[in-house]
Amino acid sequence: MLLPGASIGDGARVRDSIVAGSVGAGASLLSCVVGSTATIAEGLELTGARVPDPTA
């Protein structure tokens, strides 16, 4: 699910995730939650992540 204000780079793959922030080109997200202040780097692959990490 892409929330208002989310940005997804060219070739990024987002599956079963909630995105409010920015996902770089070629990144891959599976079962992730990306907050509005988060930026996922180009080409990064994440599974089951919460960004930013709420426990940090």
- Residues 17, 23 contacting (CB under 8 angstroms): no
pLDDT at 56 over 90: no
Give domain limits for the chain: 7-51
Closest Cα to residue 48, out of 22, 17, 19, 27? Answer: 17
Q: What is the mean pLDDT of residues 36-46?
A: 98
Residue 39 is classified by DSSP as E
Closest residue by Cα to residue 19 from 8, 11, 27: 8
The 10s digit of each residue's pLDDT in 5-40 is 999 999 999 999 999 999 999 999 999 999 999 999
Q: How far apart are CA 48 and CA 23, in angstroms?
A: 15
